[in-house]
Every structure is written in structure tokens, then in C-alpha cells.
Amino acid sequence: MNRTSSRIAVLGLSVACIAVPCMAAAAWPEKPVRLLVPWAPGGSTDVVARLSSPELTKRLKQTVLVDNRPGAGSILGMHLAAAAAPDGYTFMLTSTAYGHLLNKKEAKGIEYSKSYEPVALIGLGDSVLTVHPSLPVNSVKELIALAKKNPGQLNYSSSGIGGFPHMNTELFKLMTGTNIVHVPFQGGGPASADTMAGNTQMNLGSVPSLIGYIRSGRLKALGVGATKRNPQLPNVPTMTEAGVPGFVTYIWWGVFAPLKTPPDIIKRMHDEIAALQDTPEVVKRLEEQGAMPVKQSSAEFGKYMQDEAARWQMVIDKAGIKGE
């Protein structure tokens, strides 16, 4: 082989080495994609994941599998997602949960804004205060009066330490001066089941996780933590109307990828989620569950995660919330 031919061969090999990763990324996905949910089945995050996965399966032309990995207020699943290979075949769909801010020893540095690549915000959902139907109260004011008359005698269930119902209810206790005992579970499903069984008396979770139980009469809704009444619960007053001015809280649901996941894969997944948010059937089903699709760029979602962490850290500090 002469010198010119040798150079051409080397150049061809170099181009091929550069092109292969691009071809591999362009072919993504070539096998099923795992959507890791760090919560037990039955909660709002699981509901949103199972509404999203069939549409993502159609759009990606590969099965998107929901994989529930609950434990330690979502910290277990967060570790699994952070440790997954950054090859585009594991994503994490989670929601408002800050157990990692309360249990830093177990979290070992895991944070939304530092341990993952932000992919997409899916949507937001109002909070709703529910009680067991047998509890002798029909309003938020009556609940507050009962709690103050019997300090430490009422119990509330939550999806786990640092989860949305935990943070939500501790804020409620701070704003109302009540003493209600926390009983944590490994997800919204087990938590709401315990309240429906009457073992705990109260659950201040999200509309999507509780609306079915409210509609069936297994839980009684007293107030929604929103600026206006939720369209799916038009007869339920806002918490401000019900006597707790300024109590406005909402849950977010979003998708993350392990650090160093290729940017083109993140963009593809972001764009498919954005398309999902425009799909009438998906939007309808989310709205029926009391959820509202919200679009952001991946960068905007990353900034939003930083802002949300700072907001809930202020609540943790002010309310003196402990990891228990």
C-alpha cells in the first residue's frame, strides 16, 4: 500500500470511529426502556407513569416498562437511577419528594439538580386534604378544632419521609398550630389504603392519587391547596376559603436520566414527552385525574428543580421537619 492509500485508509477508519456513536444514538432505542418509579404502585407518581408509558411505547416503538422501586422515601430508587448506565435505557419518573434533604446520611449526596440530567417536566397537580368518612368533621375548620382539642391523638398517613404528603401536612401543622402524628408508608397507595381502613384519620396528598377514593366516598375531601377550586372537585373549597389563608401546594412529576446520558437521547425523550403532552387522549386522562400538563425545556426543568428544592428546604427549616 502506498503512502496516499495508507492515509486514505486511516482517514476512513477515523471517520468510521466518529460515525459509529452517532449511528448508535440515532438508532436509539433498540430495546425496551425502563421507567424507574421510586414509589410503590397506587400513588400519583405511579398513576402518571402508567398513563405515560403506553404513549411513549407507541412513539419510541419500544416497550417502556414501569419499574416500581420504593423505599426510604424514594431514596432507594433515586440511588438505583443514579447508578444506572447512562445509555438511554433507564429513566426515572418521580415527583415532589425531599427525603434526601432530611436523611442526608442515607441519601449520600443524591440530589435532583446534581445527580441526574433533567429531561422533562410532565405536569403539576393540586394538593387535597382528605379524612376518613367516619371522622366527625365536615370542614377544615372543624378538623383544626378537633386536632387542637385532642393534640397528638389524630394520625396522618404519608407516602414516606420527605414525600409530598409528609411535607404538605407538616406545613399544614405549622400554619394551623396543630399536633397530628405522622405515620409514613412506602408510597401513596399504601398510605391512602391505611386512611381508608380507618387506621389513620387524614391524608393530605395530591388530587391524582386521591380523586378516585374521593369519588367513591371512601375518603372525604375538605379542601384543595390551590389558588382556585380544582375542576375535578368543584364543590371542594380551596384551603384559603376553608380557613387556612395562603396554603397553596402542588405536586410536580418529572423525568430524569443518569448523568452523562447522551444529549441527543435526552432531547429525543424530551420531545416525545412534549408530544405526549399534546396528545388529546393523554391530556384528557391526566385532567380527569386532576393533573395539568406543563411544558418546559430540559434546561428550564433543571432550574425549576433548583427552585423547588430551595422552597421546600425553607419549609423544612421553618417547620423543623425531621427525618425521623
From first to last of its 324 residues, what are the pLDDT tens digits of the chain? Answer: 555 444 444 444 444 444 444 444 558 999 999 999 999 898 889 989 999 999 999 999 999 999 999 988 889 999 999 999 999 999 999 999 888 888 888 888 888 989 999 999 999 999 999 999 999 999 999 999 999 999 999 999 998 888 899 999 999 999 999 999 999 998 888 999 999 999 999 999 999 889 999 999 999 999 999 999 999 999 999 999 999 999 999 999 999 999 999 999 999 999 999 999 999 999 998 888 888 999 999 999 999 999 999 989 988 998 888 776
Q: Give the integer Cα–Cα distance in Å for 276 and 94.
A: 17
Measured in whole angstroms, how far is the alpha carbon of residue 95 from the centre of its chain? 1
Is 99:73 a contact under the CB 8 Å cutoff? yes
Q: Can you spell out the DSSP letters for 255-270?
A: EEEETT--HHHHHHHH
- Domains of the chain, by residue range, sit at 30-125+252-319, 126-242
In sequence order, the 6+-apart residues with CB closer than 8 A to the CB of 130 are: 195, 202, 203, 204, 205, 210, 213, 214, 219, 220, 221, 222
Fold of 30-125+252-319: D-Maltodextrin-Binding Protein; domain 2 (3.40.190)
Name the DSSP class of 97: B
Q: Give the integer Cα–Cα distance in Å for 23 and 16.
A: 10
**pLDDT at position 72, please?**
85
**pLDDT at position 302, please?**
96
- Give the gyration radius of the chain's Cα atoms: 22
**pLDDT at position 101, please?**
86
Q: Give the integer Cα–Cα distance in Å for 175 and 324.
A: 21
Is 298:116 a contact under the CB 8 Å cutoff? no
Question: For 243, left (φ over 0), alpha (ψ -120 to 50), or beta?
Answer: left
**Which residue in 114, 119, 117 sits closest to 260, CA to CA?**
117
**pLDDT at position 1, please?**
52
The single residue listed with the C-alpha cell 429513566 is 91
Q: 3-state secondary structure string, 267-304? A: HHHHHHHHHHHCCHHHHHHHHHCCEEECCCCHHHHHHH
Q: Do the domains at 30-125+252-319 and 126-242 have one common CATH topology?
A: yes
The CATH code for residues 126-242 is 3.40.190.10
